[in-house]
Structures are given as structure tokens and as C-alpha cells.
Structure 1
């Protein structure tokens, strides 16, 4: 996380060190939850190791994967984190995961104490928006095969840890179609 924050080239060394006092390590076992539907999100997590999946369940209990977050990425139930209203999503670990967690109150204290941290918050929000827009555009302009190939190229070492049903839901294709793509058919 520190290396990522350094890469933004916004924080002075003094400001960068402030995060060490407030960041906590959290371990999730495979299938453990960062947050469950109905809870209020009060933390944001940097994935040090592991893979986290965000999903929704409809009234029949069918799950739809919204997001899969990998090592060196941030994740949270962002709408709930911002509004402090109960979330409608679940975030769980697809494998044993180590997270660096920052409480909302600590993040907002960093924002209040420094224009540099406010800029970090703005940049992270912009990056998150760009990722969401890329995902939306991928569903409008790419085939399922192209979405799978792009994900496999970017996260090849992690793909094997994602169950077929979750990966196919994330890609917007059937498990059967994904199986054919994996087999090169």
C-alpha cells in the first residue's frame, strides 16, 4: 500500500508516515467476509494477498458478481462507505487473504488534516470511476471472450482460484461458455 501511495507522487514522507499509525492488518480465511449485506461499511481494504469477490443476491438467492479485486487493489462497499447506509452487497475472500484496513474515521481525519490526503482521496475516486467506466464499456463493446482474455492477461496467476460460476457471472457469460473459452474451443 505504501508503494502504491508513493507512486501517486502526492504525499510528502511526513504525510505518508501518518497512515502507519492507523492502518491495521486483517486476515480473512477462504469464504470469510469483509462485509455482509445489511451492514454499514466503515473500512476500506487494501489487498496485500488474496482475492476478494463482491456480489449481490436477488430475491431468489441468485448471486451476481459485481467485482473481483486482486492483490494490490483497494476494495470496499463504496456506496455504504460514503453514505453510511447499509450495503446491498457482500464481499468475501475467494482464498485466504491478508488485508490492510483503514477505518473511515481515520481516513476522514487524514483528509481533514491535509490537502495532500484530500488529493489522494480525489485521485482514488477518479481511478475507481475510470475502472467502473471501463467495465461498463467492456460490456457494450467487447464479447465475453474478449473480456475473459483481457482479465486472463492482466491477472493470469489468479484466474485458477476463482470458481467458474463466479468468474462467469463477473464476465456476464454462462459457465458453459466460459468453460469452452478456457478450453480454447
Structure 2
């Protein structure tokens, strides 16, 4: 098994010796996820945090009217879970599923806790990962409150250029909080300007 992508991800924030790397990788399980398959469903407890080695996942909720609200897309070299459910081991309010055929390396909650005991540096690593997620969520909330739909879309394609061609327009619209038809109109208007 090739662990180079996940080790490179870890090495962005902490340094591990070979024994610590071996211990960490021994805790991981590889999982193949078919397109549209769920990793977490509403009401379930998120038992794992996932590192994506190939593919694309999304985290979302569905409101009472049946509208999907996408909170996060995640692709290769990203971590994803229903973080609140995973950390508190309480039922999830939303879903995590695959937009594409995906491969993940998953770390169970019990192994996550064991990792902190045996390799305390991982507390720093996951603190940084969780802080970055909180900051991204806060910035997204500010954007949703202060920018127009066009501004949100421009921000999205600026921050995540790899998503624009990879993720279906309907999914991007749900992430931005607009209809697919309005997103199509925005794209057409922007194409005419350039």
C-alpha cells in the first residue's frame, strides 16, 4: 500500500520518525467508495475520519423542504467526516457521500484517540486541521452573508479552480445556495463578458 500522499499531508504540519509513521499507517484502513455511496448518513454516528487518496466526497444536509445544502466538497489530499458527530460520537445531522468513485484511508475514533496517546504530535496535527476547517467555515459564512451570488461563485472558482469542471453544476449551485438555472445564467453572463 502506498502511504506517500497521507504521509506528505501529515508532514505539512508535524514531523514523524519512521516508527511513528509505521504506527500511524498501521491504524489506517483503505476503503473503496462507489459513486453515490454513503460514508455517513443522518442519524448515524460518524465512526471514522477519512483521508481521500482518489475521488471526491461531499458533506451536506437536507432541510425540511428537501433542499440539499452542501457544506463541503473534498478531493484528493483532503480530510473529511461529519466532524461534530465524529468528535462527540453523537448522531450526525447530515450526510457524507461520494460524487465520484473514491478511495479513502479511514481512521476510526478509537484509533484516533490511541494515536494521541502513542504519538502526541498528532494532537497538534489534528488541531491545525480542525482550526483550518473552522476558519474556512467562518469565511464561507461571511461570504454567504456579505456577497452576491455572483460574488460567491467568483470566490468559489478562485479558491477551488479544480472543482469547477469536476463537480456537476447542480452540486456547485447547492454549495452556493442558488438554483442550477441561476448558476447557468451567471456562467453565461460571465462568458459573454470575457
TM-score w.r.t. length of structure 1: 0.90
For residues 28-62 of structure 1, the C-alpha deviation after alignment (integer angstroms, 9 at most, x for no partner) is 11111111111110100111111111111223332
Q: CA deviation at 1:24?
A: 1.4
SS in 2 for 1:160: helix
RMSD: 1.8
Residues 23 and 102 of structure 1 are in contact (CA less than 8 Å); yes or no, is this contact kept in structure 2? Answer: yes
Residue of structure 1 equivalent to 2:3: none
Q: CA deviation at 1:100?
A: 1.2
For residues 131-156 of structure 1, the C-alpha deviation after alignment (integer angstroms, 9 at most, x for no partner) is 11111122133322222223223433
Distance 1:11 1:161, change over 3 A: same
Please say which of residues 61-70 and 148-157 is displaced more in the overlay: 148-157
TM-score w.r.t. length of structure 2: 0.86
Counterpart Cα distance in 2 of 1:104 and 1:172? 32
Gaps of 5+ in 1: none
For residues 160-179 of structure 1, the C-alpha deviation after alignment (integer angstroms, 9 at most, x for no partner) is 33232221121122222211
Residue of structure 2 equivalent to 1:160: 165
Q: CA deviation at 1:10?
A: 4.2
For residues 12-37 of structure 1, the C-alpha deviation after alignment (integer angstroms, 9 at most, x for no partner) is 44323321101111111111111111
Which of 174, 178, 190 in structure 2 is aligned with 1:173? 178
Counterpart Cα distance in 2 of 1:60 and 1:146? 26
Equivalent residue pairs, number: 185
